[in-house]
Amino acid sequence: MRVLIVDDSRATRAMIGRILKELKFETLEAANGREALERLRQNGTADVVLVDWNMPEMNGIEFIRAVRAEPNFRGMTLMMVTTETEYDNVVRALAAGANEYIMKPFSKDVIAEKLALLGISVV
């Protein structure tokens, strides 16, 4: 399974990537929503996209809306991974089309649990 990690923090992308590789996922990375859309258009869909909320150029909510607007990408699983912890923001992300929401900081177990809740098998 292929996972796209979208976060403007290189350190966060590396940490999430390490966790996903331990869980036997192939990973791709992008530094913002615009770059992520280009990666998807070039490389085809990802099975799961983990996307940060606060990023330059195109934030996570804008990215999720753009993905849900494109017929080829509508079936992808989108998971918001962010420091935005207010209930209203969780609701906004889910209303925009996110399938799940993880609040930073998180652990490998939290990511594995959320993926399992979405029906995605992990090691």
The arrangement of secondary structure in 2-116, i.e. its CATH architecture, is 3-Layer(aba) Sandwich (3.40)
Domain boundaries, the chain: 2-116
pLDDT of residue 43: 86
Q: How far apart are CA 13 and CA 94, in angstroms?
A: 22
- pLDDT by 10-residue block (mean), the chain, 123 residues: 96 96 95 96 92 95 96 93 87 95 92 93 76
77 and 47 Cβ atoms separated by less than 8 Å: yes
Report pTM: 0.93
**Taking the CA of residue 29 as centre, how many other CA atoms within 13 Å lie in the half-sphere pointing to its CB?**
15
